[in-house]
Chains A and B, each alone.
Chain A
Amino acid sequence: NAGVTQTPKFQVLKTGQSMTLQCAQDMNHNSMYWYRQDPGMGLRLIYYSASEGTTDKGEVPNGYNVSRLNKREFSLRLESAAPSQTSVYFCASSEDYGYTFGSGTRLTVV
Chain B
Amino acid sequence: GNSVTQMEGPVTLSEEAFLTINCTYTATGYPSLFWYVQYPGEGLQLLLKATKADDKGSNKGFEATYRKETTSFHLEKGSVQVSDSAVYFCALPANQAGTALIFGKGTTLSVSS
Contact = CB atoms under 8 A, between A and B. Distances in A.
Interface stretch (B59-67, B76-84, B100-108): B100-108
Contacts of B98: 31, 48, 50, 56
Interface in B11-70: 32, 34, 36, 41-46, 49
A48 B43 contact: no
Contacts of A56: 98, 100
Nearest to B49: A97
B32 to A, nearest CB: 6
Interface string B74-113: 0000000000000001000110001111111110000000
Nearest to B4: A42
B46 A33 contact: no
A98 B51 CA distance: 12
Interface residues on A, range: 20 to 34
Contacts, number: 58
Contacts of B36: 99
A41 interface: yes
A69 interface: no
Interface string A1-40: 0001000000000000000000000000001010100001
Contact of B99 (A40, A94, A103): A94
Interface of B: 32, 34, 36, 41-46, 49, 89, 93-94, 98-106
Given A48-B100, A58-B94, 8 more contacts: A31-B99, A40-B105, A42-B106, A44-B103, A94-B99, A96-B99, A99-B36, A103-B41
